[in-house]
Amino acid sequence: MTPIAICGYTPIVLVVNPQRVPATNAKEFVAWLKSKNGEATYASGGNGTILHLASEMFVDEAGAKAQHIPYKGVGPMITDLIGGQVDFGTAALPSVQQHLASGKLRAIGVGTAQRVPAAPDIPSMSEQGLPGYVVEAWFAVLGPKGLPAAEVRRVNAAVVAAFADPAVKEAMARQGNTIAVSTPEFAQQYFRSEKDKYAKLVNKAGIELQ
């Protein structure tokens, strides 16, 4: 692959089933998690997905243990979170906003460095005493391996122009996305740093290919 641009990020939010988990903030949730002695369960959209890694990263940051329950997609995962089959999970903010508004799920915090404009009432994990917990679902444009530099610059410029369109900006903001189109050079460096970060987590947590 040839990195062309990081386009932006979708906020990740840690949510709990309010009928199973009494915690309302990160401090209370960490205390509850530790009290369960590894018996708490968290859902993800599949083994090795960003939602799996985001939850595992939180558990590691909290110095606790929890059982991973993988689902075949985000839809079934959220259904069982609401139904009380699992205790907590992480999800892209747009996928759970309606359930947060209805009270079917409760947000503990977002994995961004600061609060996000689309949900200003949800505190970040950083401001709740977990500065090391920053995890975002980024989306990017990639080209085939060996794409000529001139083509990389041309496509990057087209991506910058597309995301500068007011209608696109508005649509992305409504979904809670943060748009920040990068240079190809930054994208290449960022891919490397993300790979290193999650490789360490995978090794530490003992996550295996299934």
CATH class of the region 12-135: alpha beta
- Pairing type for strands 178-179 and 2-16 reads antiparallel
Residue 67 to residue 57: CA distance in whole angstroms:
13
CA distances from 117 to 154, 172, 199 (A): 31, 12, 31
Task: Name the pTM for this structure.
Answer: 0.84
**CA dist 13 → 5, 42, 109, 123 (Å):** 24, 13, 6, 10
> Would you kindly state where each structural domain of the chain is located, as residue ranges?
12-135, 137-194
Q: What is the pLDDT along the chain (210 residues), one digit of tens a residue?
A: 999 999 998 899 999 999 999 999 999 999 999 999 999 999 998 888 889 999 999 998 899 999 999 999 999 999 999 999 999 999 999 899 999 999 999 999 999 888 988 889 999 999 999 988 888 888 999 999 999 999 999 999 999 999 999 999 898 888 778 898 999 999 999 989 888 888 887 777 666 655
